[in-house]
Structure 1
Amino acid sequence: MNFAKDRYDVCIVGSGPNGLAAASVFANAGYSVLILEVKDRLGGGMRTGELTLPGFRHDICSGAHPMGILSPYLKTLPLEKHGLHWIEPTASVAHPLDGEPAVMLYPSLKETAEGLGKDENSYIKLIRPFLNHPEGLLADALAPLGIPKHPLSLLRFGLLGIRSAKGLAMSRFEGERAKALFAGLAAHSILPLDSFLTAALGLLFAITGHMKSWPVVKGGSEGIATSLVAYLKTLGVEFKTDFYVGSLRQLPKTKVIMFDTDPVQLANIAGSVLPGGYTKRLKSYRYGPGVFKLDWALDGPIPWKDRNCLLASTVHLGGTLEEIVFGEASVWRGIHPEKPYVLLVQQSQFDPTRAPQGKHTGYAYCHVPFGSTLDLTNTIEDQVERFAPGFKDRILFRHKMNTKDFETYNYNYAGGAITGGVADIPQAFLRPVARWNPYSTPNPHIFICSASTPPGGGVHGMCGYHAANSVLRKLERLKDMDRF
């Protein structure tokens, strides 16, 4: 194979946020790193393109980035010096309801709580204790199982987060507004909201919304990838795109091979040097529901009934807690709900570089059964129209992606699952398989760092960061891997 060097200390397969984060750890420690990417552009889910019409720039996958701007590792890197520009909206989330003002998640705890009516004090009592040192809580929550640095805060979070989102909301709130807000936040888990652990994501996203408004990236989410790549190049990291890895024999001599891939790809590529029992467990990994996504070129901003929705980067469309619980449970039963929970991001409302002057972009997706190819265009657009009458009249062009399209775009998105697999008990903690070091395999040279490892999905790079640090402790002792 045509590589710049005969050998590297580390070879990373895949260039998503975790592969790039892992590379920075190794490179900063003085090791030589090669990153291989099957596509013609680096970044995994962090890519942007003109999916609809010329001049309309759409985020192909990730759109708003609460975990990106708050990532305990990414925020330590000089990415702004390499072109990254976060744009923070007035509010993180708007959650419209029928016949009343939208519920808003503002950075101000007080301002958010004031919009919850009778649950103002209950919301403050629930969230305020976590805002004393939220950075420490976030670092512990985004780490593999181990000894936390802030045990009391994490214990409090865990005792609440282990519950179901429905159970916690029903026990803490009286009114529909607070319940709906919490349900919309928790539904990012892509789990039935009466399942254990779904409260954790609702809490975590509420906390992040009071730390920073959920930002978009100027010019597109690919700005995270391009800034990371520019930084890595200053450290000497090498890249090779359009490189499909189907076998270990394609790789150069190296001490460590790290996979920023899903577990099945790891099993298929490296199965020849891994025990059969281990690869069998990798192939039994559960991915959960997928998504159906629309991108729109719009002839103006989305005409929300409540204009406050224009203040938020992200809009949760799903109505009440009961509606969202029903819709998400339906997806897990293999049913496409008539009124699904829809996550909508309106990047051009805050970033004028996303569309021609006077025009706008829109981005929305809903959860669907694993592998679904049903066209849900009308279903999603009806949900938007419900809260923004006249929306359909502003559509100039639309782009669709079903689960097969997502899997073709990024092989990690098996069945259209975009968050690295089911994060229920026990897979949230024992992913991809149960091992003391979840990033390791039975082969001392082979590791995995994708969103299928702790702490899971999101553009935060923490899977790669923790995986790389688990390798550093043994890298010096490793010789080059035997030729496969």
Structure 2
Amino acid sequence: MPRATVIGSGPNGLAAAVSLARAGYSVEVLEAGATIGGGVRSAAVTLPGFVHDVCSAVHPAAYSSSFLRAFGRDRIDWIIPETAYAHPLDDGRAGIAWHDLERTAEALGPDARAWRALLRPLSSHIDGVLDFTGGSLLRIPRAPVTALRYGLRALEQGSAMAKRTFRTPEAAALVAGVVAHANTALPALSGAAAGLLLMAQAHAGGWAYPRGGAQRIADVLAEDLRAHGGTIRTGTRVVDLSALDWGDPARGNVLLLNTSPRLALTLRDVPPHYATAIRAYRYGAAAAKVDFALDGPVPWTNPDVGLSPTVHVGGTRAEVWASENAVAQGRVSERPYALVAQPSVLDGTRAPAGQQVLWAYIHAPANSDVDATELVIRQIERFAPGFRDRILASHAVTPRQRALLNPAEIGGDIFGGAFTMRQAVVRPVLSPTPWRTPMAGVYLASAATPPGPGVNFMAGWHAARTALADAGERVELGDLFGS
């Protein structure tokens, strides 16, 4: 039986491990942390009884992932909010993106037609969008018309033309809040591409998240891995691959890295051209995160905002753009854009009765010591006066601390590398199969490979499928998971 060693138990690492175990490999996963999950972990970081998601919280990409659909997404109890995301503005106004596209459009008044024109063609052909964005861009898409439409809309929303698409502050802010997920200077083609995918998913499958916490995603994958003979070792940090006994590639053994590609450079006999490319791969700004335990719901001025598990806090489109551009210049705005998750508005398992958890992060310069606590409190207070009085406890993690806790997050970059258009194609090298390295039996299986950031499992699946193809086994998801 060939061996597969997977470094890192994030969603991509576990997806690769599960795929190879089902294909007949003896699989061992090595995890540096005390618990598994990487970007899908949950923990009690404030007070007993409060369950906080350590990294990701809401998972539209996971829910729509072709990997998880084949694996069996019904193994997880998903919550699909009626309100996908909200964006509060001053004076009690707010943009509300409902799961129902038509309801969203109608509420936007003069921008109803523009909202439909932007998102209906993408959300109604979501499988074509997911195929185009779900792997290397150096290939012919299966749905070329949908891919072309998606690309043209990204060009529009990723340039100054975006200012002419919507006339109302609510619609403009809704788009800006999602585009800002990409953690890049705005407007940007890469940000628009990422934002359009998320907005289309909101009106297709929805911005779903697991009841009980993101940890449930990792636990379900780990259960399947163990059921197929795989093992996981936690508390095992690998810093030098040349000292790791992962077997002989000539006997079919493989090594998959759900880590920064830089770890591959610790192997012996790395070709100089590959080492140069990996060293040239750029990392982006970081995330400064804070978790709150609250004694009750956030007192949003606009009550509809309180219905949404995801809230983009940052004011108008101009303010959001200014905040993200400040980060790109190495500083943090006094009124930063904050991505806020309040999962307990629909999930009573996250906090004691009547109480709630709230998760938030701002973008910040890499390796900085920015504590987001007071910045986030002030921004939320702007749209929810009295929020400060609801806080029972808080827990902050700075970019520098993130990098120490997870060596894959270079400088605190949670995206596995700057998400620019160049690095959407050259991720981390220019190749139709960037998961394969020039070192025999070694593969990259992280967000530093296509399709990039987000809990979508696809980098792990592509790495496993590439390894199997190199071993002479041509497999698809249905071959392994029976769908």
Q: TM-score range by the shorter chain?
A: over 0.9
Counterpart residue type for residue 469 of structure 1: R
User: SS state of the match for residue 423, structure 2?
Assistant: coil
Report the counterpart of residue 238 of structure 1 in structure 2: 231
User: Are 2:436 and 2:444, in contact at CA under 8 Å, matched by a contact in 1?
Assistant: yes
Please give the secondary structure, in 2, of the residue aligned with 1:396.
Answer: strand
SS of equivalent residue, structure 1 residue 340: coil
Q: What's 1:481 paired with?
A: none
Equivalent residue for 1:214? 207
Counterpart of 2:171 in 1: which secondary structure?
Answer: helix
In structure 2, the partner of 1:257 is 255
Question: 1:116-155 maps to which residues of 2 (within 5 A)?
Answer: 116-145=108-137, 146-155=139-148
Letter of the structure 1 residue corresponding to residue 450 of structure 2: P
| Whole-Å separation in 2 of the counterparts to 1:132 and 1:394 | 41
Q: Map of 1:302-381 to 2, 5 A cutoff? A: 302-381=298-377
Q: Which residue of 1 aligns with 2:448?
A: 452
Structure 2 CA distance, aligned partners of 1:40 and 1:401?
17
Q: Distance in 1 between matches of 2:463 and 2:30?
A: 17
Higher share of residues assigned helix: 2
- Aligned match for 2:88, one of 89, 96, 108: 96
**What CA deviation, in whole Å up to 9, does each residue of 1:136-190 have, x standing for no partner?**
3212211212121111101110122144535342132122211111110100111
Normalising by structure 2, what TM-score? 0.93
SS at match of 1:428: helix
The amino acid that maps onto 1:388 is A
Percent identical residues: 39
Change (3 A) 1:47 1:294: same
> Is residue 28 from structure 1 mapped to residue 15 from structure 2 by the alignment?
no
1:28-61 residue CA offsets vs partner (Å, 9 max, x unmatched):
2222222111112111111111100111110010
> d(CA) in 2 for partners of 1:165 and 1:242?
42
SS at match of 1:426: helix
1:190 aligns with 2:183: yes
Q: Counterparts of 2:420 and 2:124 in 1: how far apart (Å)? A: 28
1:57 to 51, 61, 73: 51
Moved over 6 A (4+): none
Classify the secondary structure of the residue corresponding to 2:292: strand
Gaps of 5+ in 2: 474-483
Q: Distance in 2 between matches of 1:442 and 1:209?
A: 39
Query: What is the number of residues matched between the two proteins?
Result: 467
Check whether the contact 1:91–1:107 (CA below 8 A) recurs between aligned residues. Answer: yes
Q: RMSD over aligned Cα, in angstroms?
A: 1.6
Q: Where does residue 414 of structure 2 map in the other structure?
A: 418
Structure 1 length-normalised TM: 0.93
- Unmatched 5+ stretches in structure 1: 1-6, 478-484
- Using the alignment, how far apart are the partners of 1:132 and 1:395 within structure 2? 41
Q: Tell me what 1:393 maps to.
A: 389
* CA distance in structure 2 between the partners assigned to 1:79 and 1:30 by the alignment: 22
- Give yes or no for contact 1:163–1:195 (8 Å, CA) kept in 2: no
1:73-88 paired onto structure 2 within 5 Å: 73-81=67-75, 84-88=76-80
- The aligned residue for residue 274 of structure 1 is 270
Q: Secondary structure at the match of 2:331?
A: coil
| Greater Cα offset, 453-462 or 465-474 | 465-474
Cα distance per residue 1:95-130 (max 9 Å; x no partner): 001114311111111111112121111111111112
Shift of residue 8, structure 1, vs aligned partner:
4.1
Instruction: Name the structure 1 match of 2:438.
Output: 442
* Corresponding position: 1:201 with 2:194: yes
Residue number among 24, 37, 40 corresponding to 2:31 in the alignment = 37
The 8 Å contact of residues 93 and 315 in structure 1, kept in 2 or not, is answered as yes
2:24 aligned with 1:19? no
- Cα distance between partner residues in 1 of 2:35 and 2:242: 22
For each residue in 1:62-107, what CA deviation from the matched residue of structure 2 results, as whole angstroms up to 9, or x when unmatched?
01111111111112113544xx211122211010011143111111
Query: Is the contact made by 2:129 and 2:197 (CA closer than 8 Å) also made in structure 1?
Result: no
Conserved 8 A contact 2:241-2:264: no
Q: Distance in 1 between matches of 2:314 and 2:242?
A: 46
Cα separation, 1, equivalents of 2:55 and 2:294:
19
Q: CA deviation at 1:226?
A: 0.2
Contact 1:8 1:252 in 2 (8 A): no
Partner deviation per Cα, 1:239-271 (whole Å, 9 max, x = no partner)? 22222222333223142111110122222x32x
Amino acid at match of 2:218: A
Q: Which residue of 2 aligns with 1:161?
A: 154
> 2: CA distance between counterparts of 1:90 and 1:251?
50
Q: Say if 2:283 and 2:410, in contact at 8 Å, map to a contact too.
A: yes
SS of corresponding position for 1:273: coil
Contact map agreement 2:285 2:328 (CA 8 A) in 1: yes
SS in 2 for 1:423: coil
Q: Is the 8 A contact 2:92 2:383 kept in 1?
A: no
CA contact (8 A) 2:309 2:344 kept: no
Instruction: Report if the CA contact (8 A) 2:367-2:412 is conserved.
Output: yes
Residue 479 of structure 2 corresponds to: none
Q: Secondary structure at the match of 1:441?
A: coil
Work out the CA distance in 2 between the residues paired with 1:376 and 1:218. Answer: 26
Any idea what SS the aligned residue of 2:181 has? helix
